[in-house]
Amino acid sequence: MSANPPVKGGVVPYLTIVDGAMKAAEFYGRAFGAEIVTTHPVDDKGRTMHVHLYINGSSVMLSDGYPEHGHPALPAQGYNLTLMVDDIDRWWKRAIDAGATSVMPPQDMFWGDRYGQFRDPFGYLWSMGAPIKKG
């Protein structure tokens, strides 16, 4: 692990995890093939203030809640995180097999993508999309 790995992507989500940032990082590893590129040590309460992941060529940051520093862990709100992938059915199966819950199974959509949504065990809504393969 690098002490200061490069941040990949133009917009980088930084998720405060209700039930353990390290547990979430492990889940994202199983579900998305996420690579943990750096972490801060866990404190005496079992929390970590920073986990940096690479998922599908982009950075995603995680932390546990630190309400005493103005960063409470709140349930996931009204947004989703979208992964554009090369083979949605393969990625989808891996996420569901890892413990994600299907919200909308992948289907061919009118805008030209195969698209679906699922919720991870930490409450975050994810969507996946891939161009519909022609031929």
Mean pLDDT for the stretch of residues 12-26? 94
Domains of the chain with bracketed CATH: 14-69 (3.10.180.10), 80-131 (3.30.720.110)
Q: Are 27 and 19 in contact (CB under 8 A)?
A: no
**What pLDDT is stored for residue 74 in this prediction?**
85
User: 29 pLDDT band (50/70/90 cuts)?
Assistant: very high
C-alpha angle 53-6-31 in degrees, rounded to nearest 5: 20
Q: Are 121 and 27 in contact (CB under 8 A)?
A: yes
pLDDT digits (tens, 9 = 90+) for 96-109: 999 999 999 999 99
Closest of 43, 62, 41 to residue 52, by C-alpha: 62
**What pLDDT is stored for residue 90 in this prediction?**
96
